[in-house]
Structure 1
Amino acid sequence: MTAPGILLSVVIPTYNYGHLLGRVLDSVLSQLTDECELVVIDDGSSDETPKVLETISAGRPSGFRWLRQNNAGAAAARNAGLRASRGSHVLFLDADDQLLPGALAAICSAFRDDSRATVVIGGRLTRWPDGREKRHPPPRRVDDDPCRRVADHLLDKTLSVSHGAVAVARELVDGRPYPEAFRGREDIPVSAYWLACGRIKVIDIPLVRIHKHPDSLRHAVKVSESLEQALADEIFRGLPDECQKLKPSYLAQRYLALSRAAAQTGERSTARRHLLAALRADPGQLLARGQLRKLIKAWMGSCRRWPE
């Protein structure tokens, strides 16, 4: 449900990140104006998260609300935040990250300047625990063909979409909620849909600092062929018919990644099984984007560490 005058809602899901919440909330609250709001969803945290949110709420900052739900995962928390928000556009932000100064003003200006835009993409910074930081500029060019955009995102990895660096019109977000059955990588089906169905506008400024640490929301989850198949089904279920031709290539890439991972841990029979699955899906992917080189490197490392 939208409210007159609210152009942008920032939605932050959080689970047991009470020790980091102050950083991300300060980065947003310091930028709020009358046309922006901040909605935080506590996904059943068992740490100091509720206390942190109550303390901030007691100060009655304008445009700030928070809700608590039983633990249901990041996807469910984002969907709950979307339902509770009232802006005509939405920016999802992870609780362990940090909105950069001027980000909200830049996003709002982009949507005001181009009323047809439904997706605004900016750059991002990545910071590691040792203080190293890397700048990731926004894409130089976004193809007019929706399926080419999806291929650039899923296959070529030249069109990145990250929470905090992309804002989306509500009607587009409403059309593809986060899939709550997945407890990891649930953002991929959503971002692919945004790129396939949205009108893209790129702004050449960094919007978010993404902090890398072991227990972040982006921490790797255990994967399998069945999980990769289920995720691929979920991704392509929401895409236009003309994009379905990309599915075998996407699956092949994912199976090749599983094969490399298995080889690196000495599980050679498993690595061979994943390799065969990739070849069945799309044999051409073995020669795409250095896949063969990476696979050979993984197998050579396996042979050195675990000689038969």
Structure 2
Amino acid sequence: MTASELILISIVIPTYNYGHLLPRALDSVLGQMANDVELIVVDDGSCDNTNEVLATYATRCPRLHAIHQANAGAAAARNRGIREAHGRYALLLDADDELLPNALDTLRSVVKIKPEAGMVLGAQLSVFPDGRERLRLASPVPVASPRELTRLYLLQKRISISHCCSLFRRDLLLQRPYPEQLRNGEDIPVFAYLLVSAPVATTDVPLAKIYKHADSLRHSRDKEEAYALSIVHEVFEHLPVECQSLRKRYAAQRYLSLFRAALNAGDRAQARRFYSKAIRLNPSQSLRWSYLSKALRMLFGG
């Protein structure tokens, strides 16, 4: 058996201009490295000191595999790392976050008990800019049909999936790569596919600290409608036939999100157009009071 065949978990860290934070992520992994773990960092065309940081760490950890590529976005960096990896499972750690001690031991125990799992969801500590921390437990995932799981994840938002505190079966990630034309929301199609493709295991042990940034709440409205429809297409492109009946409802939900964003930006003309499209796609969803009240205030100048 070769060394690569012994790898259970491949930790993939995509990074772009995070040289000042990358050591925190690397140290959190190196503190729990073992023979069944590999560490891959994909530098997505950084122009800061990331290269120097990686060179320094490579002298301390010869098993760190650093990949440098021209800037192509987080999705492309994740895909590259997944292709280069050897593990049965992949943990995708963002460069500005960190694993908690014993995270890998916890994941080993879970997959030993449930080796058929395609995904393991763990708890996380969310760290806010003011230093506050909040524990978020893993979402319970029922044994249900692909359609019901898709509904709970996309429409009801009852299932939460995040990088850093989740473990994914690598063969499934190779079957449904991250859509590289999307620069945000690219994880939604992948998570939806994983959810319906194999059983899900959960643990309430916190696996990672995930740092929240104030700028993460800002989203560009450039070509926002085309972008939202691209996400809808990517999500349903790889889902089973029984899930396709949810496509219109999910498209309506995306339009309702566009409606809210347009209202917040003071663009009432676009808000009216987006709300009209949402109603045509799914009247019952669009006429919920949380949306209807905003639409009425918009129409009557409230």
**1:273 paired to 2:273:** yes
Give the partner amino acid of 2:51: P
Give the partner amino acid of 1:203: T
Q: Where do residues 1-308 of structure 1 align in structure 2 (5 Å cutoff)?
A: 3-59=4-60, 61=61, 63-215=63-215, 220-222=219-221, 224-287=224-287, 291-294=288-291, 296-297=293-294, 300=297
Once the two structures are TM-superposed, the CA of residue 179 in structure 1 deviates from its matched residue by 0.6
Once the two structures are TM-superposed, the CA of residue 172 in structure 1 deviates from its matched residue by 0.9
Once the two structures are TM-superposed, the CA of residue 292 in structure 1 deviates from its matched residue by 2.9
Identity level (%): 43
1:34-66 alpha-carbon deviations (Å, 9 max, x no partner): 11111000000000111111110112x153211
Separation of aligned partners in 1, 2:145 and 2:42: 35
Once the two structures are TM-superposed, the CA of residue 114 in structure 1 deviates from its matched residue by 1.8
Secondary structure, aligned partner of 2:4: coil
Query: For the Cα contact (< 8 Å) 1:41–1:68, is it kept in 2?
Result: yes
Separation of aligned partners in 1, 2:90 and 2:26: 16
Provide runs of 4+ in structure 1 moved above 4 Å: 297-300
Once the two structures are TM-superposed, the CA of residue 139 in structure 1 deviates from its matched residue by 1.7
Secondary structure, aligned partner of 1:90: strand
Once the two structures are TM-superposed, the CA of residue 79 in structure 1 deviates from its matched residue by 0.6
Query: For the Cα contact (< 8 Å) 1:14–1:41, is it kept in 2?
Result: yes
Any gaps of 5 or more consecutive residues in structure 1? none
Once the two structures are TM-superposed, the CA of residue 186 in structure 1 deviates from its matched residue by 0.7
Separation of aligned partners in 2, 1:66 and 1:6: 17
Separation of aligned partners in 1, 2:153 and 2:99: 23
Query: For the Cα contact (< 8 Å) 2:54–2:66, is it kept in 1?
Result: yes
Query: For the Cα contact (< 8 Å) 1:36–1:63, is it kept in 2?
Result: no
Q: What's the TM-score, normalizing by structure 2?
A: 0.93
Change (3 A) 1:299 1:69: farther
Separation of aligned partners in 1, 2:277 and 2:204: 40
Once the two structures are TM-superposed, the CA of residue 221 in structure 1 deviates from its matched residue by 4.0
Query: For the Cα contact (< 8 Å) 1:260–1:295, is it kept in 2?
Result: no
Secondary structure, aligned partner of 1:18: coil
Count of equivalent residues? 300
Query: For the Cα contact (< 8 Å) 1:2–1:87, is it kept in 2?
Result: no
Separation of aligned partners in 1, 2:225 and 2:265: 17
Once the two structures are TM-superposed, the CA of residue 210 in structure 1 deviates from its matched residue by 1.1
Separation of aligned partners in 1, 2:277 and 2:135: 36
Query: For the Cα contact (< 8 Å) 2:141–2:200, is it kept in 1?
Result: no
Change (3 A) 1:62 1:248: same
Once the two structures are TM-superposed, the CA of residue 285 in structure 1 deviates from its matched residue by 1.1
Query: For the Cα contact (< 8 Å) 1:75–1:178, is it kept in 2?
Result: yes
Query: For the Cα contact (< 8 Å) 1:90–1:169, is it kept in 2?
Result: yes
Any gaps of 5 or more consecutive residues in structure 2? none
Give the partner amino acid of 1:227: Y
Separation of aligned partners in 2, 1:150 and 1:55: 44
Give the partner amino acid of 2:290: R
Secondary structure, aligned partner of 1:34: coil
Greater mean deviation of Cα atoms: 1-10 or 249-258: 1-10
1:81-137 alpha-carbon deviations (Å, 9 max, x no partner): 011111111111111111111111111221122221121111112111101222111
CA RMSD of aligned residues (A): 2.1
